[in-house]
Amino acid sequence: MANREWFQLRRQSDDLVYTFRRRQDPGGDPAYQRQDQDFWITFRPDLGWVAWDHPTQQCMGKPWDVPPDQQEDFPPEGVWVSRKGAKSYVYELVYINGPLGHDLIGASSEPTNWLDESIHLSDWNPSWPADARALMAEFVSFLGPEIRIEHIGSTAVEGMPAKPVLDLMIGADDESEQEKVARKLSEMGWQDMGEAGVAGRRHLRKRSGEHANAHIVLFGSVHWGNNLAIRDFLRAHPDERAAYAALKQATVASGADRLLAYSDRKAQFMVELLARAVAWRTTEAKGK
């Protein structure tokens, strides 16, 4: 049986899924926060467990058939109803052991800590582009030919040392499609990590067979454009590629052999690299 740390609200009309984790809400009340944004299911002494909008102090949703005086110390499972403007929606609340069923019992209250893992760098592997294309073809066969996918990250830049983990970026039309794609990938065995510290991105990973990450973002968004800008900038500038490679190797040599530490120590360099990449992309676009 699932613990009471995590639950999902599954919308009945279109299978949209929202994942929540137990927190203390801004008002200090017992609550569960939605993984991908600042939205809460909280306990109100006068109302019981409700979806509560703190800015407007309004109830946005509640259990359908469990009155407040029959509720326990956690939101009741079963049917919930919500209202968004003039529309009403029906959801099913289901407790899980972590995002999409992955056991996170004992995980830190910091949402990105369970993302951490050991890392190492490998020299450029000429098979990475072909491996990425094979995985992209697998996605197309499962998600449909209209899906938009790009191979990004260091494994997409020839000659670049990299963590031996393929990064694929999927462009979704809206939040609903992000959820649907994430759910389908989870059915393929991918682990759903939520936003993993990056607002607007849905991050999934696979650590069996060919290791890979999938980043589901809105097509044409800042996330979409920035990832492509960095990839294409590094492909077109050997000096920038060499500088980034040296930085990556020095970071690991300094003892940053865990993902979060490695990313943190690269952070300022990446901010500066992104600025140069975006400026270059803008100049290139004006010249066409």
Asked if the structure places residue 120 within a domain, the reply is no
| pLDDT tens-digit readout, 168-196 | 999 999 988 998 999 899 888 888 888 77
pLDDT class of 235 with cuts at 50, 70, 90: very high
Domain range for 14 is: 6-107
Asked if the structure places residue 113 within a domain, the reply is no
Total domains, the chain: 2
Of 189 and 245, more confident: 245
Asked if the structure places residue 112 within a domain, the reply is no
Does residue 85 sit in the same domain as residue 147?
no
Asked if the structure places residue 116 within a domain, the reply is no
Q: Whole-prediction pTM value? A: 0.65
| pLDDT tens-digit readout, 34-80 | 876 678 899 988 899 999 887 788 889 999 999 999 998 899 999 99
Mean of per-residue pLDDT scores for the chain: 86
Of 286 and 8, more confident: 8
Does residue 93 sit in the same domain as residue 189?
no
Does residue 94 sit in the same domain as residue 177?
no
Does residue 231 sit in the same domain as residue 135?
yes
Whether 111 contacts 94, CB under 8 Å: no
Question: Is beta strand 166-172 parallel, antiparallel or unpaired with respect to 212-218?
Answer: parallel
**Residue that has been written with the tokens 């989870």 in this structure:** 186
Buried b (16+ CB within 10 A) or exposed e, 36-60: beebbbbbeeeebbbbbeeeeeeee
Residue range 207-227: mean pLDDT, rounded:
93
Percent of the chain with pLDDT over 90: 53
